[in-house]
Amino acid sequence: IQRIVVKVGTSTLTTENGHLNIEKIKKIVLELSNLQDKGYDVILVSSGAVGAGMGLLNISEKPKTLAEKQMLSAVGQVSLMQIYQTLFKEHNKIIGQLLLTKEEFSNRKRYLNMRNVCNAFLKRKIIPIINENDAIVSNALKIKVGDNDTMSALVSGLIDADLLIILSDIDGLYNKNPRKYEDANLIHMVGDINEDIKRMAGAEGSKFGTGGMITKIIAAEMVTKIGTSLVIASGDDPKNITRIVEKENIGTLFV
């Protein structure tokens, strides 16, 4: 493994009231910095902008209008990146922000341009932190990827990643929603993403996340087709990132 994309969801980055969990972010930054020191190329796809905005403005309810949500994402994106910058700096790492839309992947010229930019980052050992440009795009404009699970899969293709790690508030894919069914079992490995697997993922996510399990399965479908493995694991303990890279059996592995 050489190139690793790590996607951290809202549920991993924020606390119960929707605000940013700084202690958690610190641990994630430590893991990613360690991986880079070991010679890996590291790319972070991070949600959490809306949560950061809510924290800054002291709002604890989900935004009600699209414009309000977009405004919160703009406010929060700045503060999220400021936090990442400060924390990564403690490990002597430089970061850069890339706010993307679907256009970066559907328009060939923009795709090639983006790929060059990403490779320029990695060449200089700068850690790209990627998010959808939520303040600019909306579903109605039809240029939105829509969720960062799909975004992380697209980014994995763009930079030819060997491994995509999606950290969530759950330790992997269960055969049914574990929040509803006590007897749900964790699936350790998936080699064939068929209808049964998709049915297990259902449609619901957590309170502040946007994707749910199904977008993670779609991401798995996308990356495994191009030879990139994907692991869905719990972000509760960010050390899981290193454990996964070192091939410990954690979470659900899609090959």
Q: How far is the CB of 83 from ligand ADP (least distance, A)?
A: 18
- Residue 93 CA neighbour count, 13 Å, CB half: 29
Alpha helices in the chain (DSSP H): 10-13, 22-37, 49-56, 66-89, 103-106, 108-123, 148-158, 195-201, 213-225, 240-245
Residue nearer to ligand ADP on the CB measure, 41 or 73: 73
51 Cβ contact partners less than 8 Å away, ≥ 6 residues apart:
10, 13, 14, 18, 19, 20, 76, 208
* Distance (Å, whole) CA 5 – CA 148: 12
Site string for ligand ADP, 163-182 (x = CB under 6 A): -----xxx--xx-xxxx---
Residue nearer to ligand ADP on the CB measure, 9 or 76: 9
Using the contact rule CB under 6 A, the part of the chain among 9-17, 71-79, 86-94, 150-158 near ligand ADP is 9-17
Structure tokens that stand for 103 in this block? 């256009």
Site string for ligand ADP, 120-159 (x = CB under 6 A): ----------------------------------------
* Distance (Å, whole) CA 233 – CA 47: 16
Residue nearer to ligand ADP on the CB measure, 157 or 235: 235
Site string for ligand ADP, 68-107 (x = CB under 6 A): ----------------------------------------
Decide: is 9 part of the binding site for ligand ADP (CB under 6 A): yes
Q: Which of residues 188-217 bind ligand ADP (CB under 6 A)?
A: 200-202, 204-206, 209, 211-213
Task: Number of residues interacting with ligand ADP: please give it, by CB under 6 A.
Answer: 23
Which residue type is seen at 252?
Answer: T
Length of the chain: 255
3-class SS of residue 255: coil
Instruction: Summarize as ranges the residues that interact with ligand ADP (CB under 6 A).
Output: 9-12, 168-170, 173-174, 176-179, 200-202, 204-206, 209, 211-213
